[in-house]
A and B are shown apart, each in its own frame.
Chain A
Amino acid sequence: MSTKNWPLWEVFVRSKNGLEHRHCGSLHAADEEMALENARDVYTRRSEGVSIWVVESKHITASNPEHNGELFEPAQDKVYRHPTFYDLPDEVKHM
């Protein structure tokens, strides 16, 4: 098998009761249809009511860990930037 024609795909799955798609791994496939089928076999065991997203890895742009300082740290030392001072009623889940 030549991996040249079998690019890497990232797989995101939303489980039956899940709220959002989570990244659960990657796999090789020749195109998006095959990627979906493979993802269904490898990652979902065909549970019903799940949603699968596949995206070819080359389409994902990742942030550079070297830039963590300027990207993420400034927000952390200013508490007023985070909405942490509200009391949430129990009925509101998943905030």
Chain B
Amino acid sequence: MNIDIEDILADLDRDTTAVDQTLTSQGQNDTTVFGSDAPGSDKAGGTAVSPVRDFEALMTHWRNERLGPELLPYPHALMARMLRRVQEQLEHIECISMGYLETLGEEDDHGTSDGGSSSNVLNKLPLLCMEADLERLKFVLRSYVRCRLAKVDKYSLYLRQLAQDNERVVPLSDLLSRQELEYHERHSAILLKLLNSTILRHMPPELQAVDDNEGSVKMVEEPEWDRFVFVYVRGPTSPRDPDPALEVGPDGQCFYNVMIQELREEVELTVGSIYVMRYNVVRELILEGKVELI
């Protein structure tokens, strides 16, 4: 006599969580000081976009960029949101600390000394947390951008080749941010000038190219597509909608099927597990966010 009422319970749950969500979102407003949030971003924060989720996405991008061999596409919208929040939070902290000074001054004027010191302690902690959190976020952003610049340096000839190639799916402006594009252009111009003026002008004309792939050794360095990386199989981004690439095995576990070309071998990437895999095998899954590098 077991009646399965789980879907009814889930229905009820959804109703209550809908109420809860408003509660928690109100709570978030109070605790914005602890998150990487800024007061102004609440307007932009819809259901899909929230500061916490953005920070998680940024961490994933950061890890993938640090560990992957190629230069990944630049998350334009995410970075724009993040940079705006940093700015707003910075101003927010400034405002609070100014107000803090004012109240402190008033208390000094006509408050008792112990009352002043206790509110002093009370007021300082959130400010401290906000500053530390901002520093943390800024560190990640800086490290991310630095890592990308290092890759732009390394693959500058390859990127230039990509830019000339018209049949590409992703244009270079999607791959790089505006600042990175400018860095790329000017840095390669400077490098070329140095090479030209020191060595290349003494060479015979047919040996003066710096991107010659016809010679015995290729001069344009491509990313190491077949480098081994550690991957964590995260599964589909939202559990609701079914993923066509996802398959269910005989023992009920979900996995992605990937093909290793050179060995002609199929591998099942079970959701929630860790593998060492060649990068070109899992590249598509990484770009779709179903798998992340660790």
Q: Do A and B come from one complex?
A: no
